[in-house]
Chain A
Amino acid sequence: MNADTNILEIQGLAKDFAGHRVIADVSFGVKKGEVVFLLGPSGAGKSTVMRCMNYLESPSAGKVLFHGEPVDTSEHGLNLYRRRVGMVFQHFNLFANLSILDNITLAPTSCGLMKHAEARELALQLLRRIGLEDKAHAYPSQLSGGQKQRVAIVRALAMNPEVLLFDEPTSALDPEMVGEVENLMRELANDGMTMLVVSHDIDFAMELANRIIFLADGKLVADASPAILKNSDNPRIRDFLSLR
């Protein structure tokens, strides 16, 4: 595969809520190994764009392309697509009724990707990597916020996705727990994981991103490297960056 083609791409994406257009004509792509951040003021539509990209919201107009092909939006097609595009949520959304181990093994085994023993081995290996091996048989309610989010990230990793979508992964955390999650994301980026991140954390974006997409009022304002964006003379971007 050509390294320059986009793994994931949106073209002319739009989304209406109750007849009101909240996203209008947004297009961008993410290449293999890239870390792209979606930044912008509250209400800019960052999360909505991301949720449209794996069809948790259905787009009102526009296309989502995976490896250059439009996504098959049938029930079965979406299930297959989502197995290759992982997602991490602001509120972790660990399965409350399952142990940490079962949280990680449920999807790989239910989707028939792995045998149970194999999935269990992988889960333990992932937990060891984030230092939570001893929590394998604990339940989500027994973990701190930072621990939960790290488990949520390895839960997505267990499906061996090609892209990981992060929807404000540190926004619901206490400040002292932000670091452990950001460290794990740094590790993933260094390992070459393709990542799209919705965030409020400008410093983290400037540090980690290859590219930053800046959204305001549901429209794409800029798509540039952190260095270029820092020197932008667009007043909305300057306002936003001055907040840090």
Chain B
Amino acid sequence: MKEYNCKKILLLLLASMLCLFTACGEKAENRQKLIMVTNATFPPYEFYQGSKIVGIDADMVREIARRNNLELIIEDMAFDSVIAAVQTGKADVAASGITVTEDRKKQIDFTTSYVKADQVIIVRDGSDINGAESLKGRRIGVQHGTTGDTYVTANIGEPDRFQDGALAVASLATGKIDAVVLDSAPAQEHVARNAGLHILPTSLASEEYAMAIRKNRPELLLMFNKTLMDMQLDGTMAAITAKYQGEKTKEHTATQSSGIGSWLAHSFEINFVKDGRWKYLLNGFLVTIEISFCAVLMGLAIGFLVAVIRSTHDQTGRHTVLNILCHLYLTVVRGTPVVVQLLIIYFVIFAAVDVSKVLVAIVAFGVNSGAYVAEIIRSGIMAVDHGQMEAGRSLGLSYGSTMRSVILPQAFKNVLPALGNEFIVLLKETSVCGYIALQDLTKGGDIIRSQTYDAFLPLIAVALIYLIVVVCLSQLLKKLEIHLKKNER
């Protein structure tokens, strides 16, 4: 009877989750969609202008989509994930300043190349580094997964790998590293916006950019190549390139020389007010809260279920099979990092399904948190005096009934501080959402940094917002604790 009930609940949970996924997968389909992935921290090829991703790559694909009557969707993710996204079919095309290499050709097909680019070296003014030879033994920054990374790793030594070029350049500017190896076009943008840096005249390697398309999609490759050729012939390609090459932003030229106060005011203006950049933080904050809240609820549900199954097994020896499953779940989830779980759930488990990324994140963090919540609640159940269960049973209440009305409420109260701790950890852990191109609070700050080339204020702002949320959450939990303690002296 008991076993049957628990299985039924599990099945119901599974079924309702499946329904949720399929519901989210259904979208109105009028025009055929073209999904492009990119890493929008790479001006002038791809970067944010307001909430829109623009740049040479973005405009080029936008034009290709227009000419072929496709609805374009651009998704922003870490550069080291864009090729994986195409490979697994999450996206149709990756256009992200991708250099053509033999290794990458094995993974995906390249369109004809549309840009020639060099890998250049950025150094601080007055640096003694004067070429590739003098890089040996120095600390070199690169953007993770770029050809600069590959080149430095193969020819010079282990570099410091950053999530985006702006972070690498910021590290260089503050003296944490000695040089940055980057593609020439974004390198020029970075140098233009940071005083005290320059590009060495000799470049490291010459290379070509092309767009990446999943293997075995010849019709799509053909369409891209044909349109690219048309655009080259009618001058569209040159026009797009010229538009961005000429556009050098001068917004960050005001320097620290005019005093801390006005520098701060200026920096605040640039980072949060201009182009409505505060919206990245607001929207990111909402995404973070949405994911955290739903994941907490899901984690609680899973946690309670697993804890009850495990304690029931410990106390009565029932549910052996379920107990083994729960044990396996706890071992796997607690034995692997949450960011790896998130990527596996997105790229492997939901590889072929078009689900909302917010949902993927909720599932990943909910499943992850459930394992920790389960053990917390189980410890709470074990801490409840055994006499409570005996009293319930001696009155003729069933095991489940006593658990529900007597044991679990006490267990929950016992572990509230530990649960609060878990919720706080969960909230902050969602900051790795950027790995699957979700714009959460941390990612919002990243986008601002990639636009303003300023590390200080956006990071402080993001940190402050997390801090405020955590303080509010702690206060709420404290109130709940006091409320539940009213029956104690």
Contact = CB atoms under 8 A, between A and B. Distances in A.
Interface of A: 54, 56, 75-76, 79-83, 86-87, 89, 91, 93-99, 106-107, 110-111, 139, 141-142, 152, 155-156, 159
Contact of A56 (B385, B393, B396): B393
A139 B394 contact: no
B410 interface: yes
Contact of A82 (B388, B395, B410, B487): B395
B396 A141 contact: no
Contacts of A76: 1
A76 to B, nearest CB: 8
B392 interface: yes
B409 A97 contact: yes
Contacts, number: 78
Given A54-B394, A86-B394, A159-B396, A141 B2 contact: no
A109 to B, nearest CB: 10
A110 B388 contact: no
B394 A56 contact: yes
B388 A95 contact: yes
Nearest to A102: B405
Given A96-B388, A97-B413, A141 B488 contact: yes
Given A110-B397, A111-B396, 17 more contacts: A56-B393, A76-B1, A79-B397, A82-B394, A82-B396, A89-B387, A91-B387, A93-B387, A95-B388, A95-B392, A95-B405, A96-B410, A97-B410, A98-B405, A107-B397, A110-B401, A111-B397
Contact of B406 (A95, A99, A155): A95
B487 A159 contact: no
Interface string B362-403: 000000000000000000000001011011111111110100
A174 B387 CA distance: 20
Nearest to B387: A93
Contact of B2 (A75, A80, A110, A156): A75
A106 B388 CA distance: 13
A106 B394 contact: no
Contacts of A155: 395
Nearest to A74: B1
A106 B387 contact: no
Tell me which of A79, A91, A95, A98 has the highest count of chain B C-beta atoms within 10 A of its own C-beta.
A95
30 contacts: A54-B394, A75-B1, A75-B398, A76-B1, A79-B396, A79-B397, A79-B398, A80-B396, A81-B396, A83-B395, A89-B391, A89-B394, A93-B387, A93-B391, A94-B391, A95-B405, A96-B410, A97-B413, A97-B487, A98-B405, A99-B487, A106-B395, A106-B405, A107-B392, A107-B397, A110-B401, A110-B405, A111-B397, A139-B488, A141-B489
Contacts of A106: 395, 397, 405-406
Contacts of B397: 79, 106-107, 110-111
Nearest to A138: B487
Contacts of B487: 96-97, 99, 139, 141
Contacts of A110: 397, 401, 405
Given A89-B390, A110-B401, A141-B489, A97 B406 contact: yes
Contact of A95 (B391, B393, B396, B488): B391
A101 to B, nearest CB: 12
A73 to B, nearest CB: 13
A57 to B, nearest CB: 10
Contact of A86 (B393, B395, B398): B395
Contacts of B398: 75, 79
Nearest to A99: B487
Contacts of A159: 395-396
A119 to B, nearest CB: 12
Contacts of A111: 395-397
Contacts of B388: 93, 95-96
A98 B395 contact: no
A146 B230 CA distance: 95
A89 B388 CA distance: 10
Nearest to B487: A139
Contacts of B394: 54, 56, 82, 86-87, 89, 156
Nearest to B2: A75
A20 B439 CA distance: 65
Contacts of A54: 394
Contacts of A82: 393-396
A18 to B, nearest CB: 16
Nearest to B405: A106
A177 B388 CA distance: 23
A96 B399 CA distance: 17
Contacts of B391: 87, 89, 93-95, 152
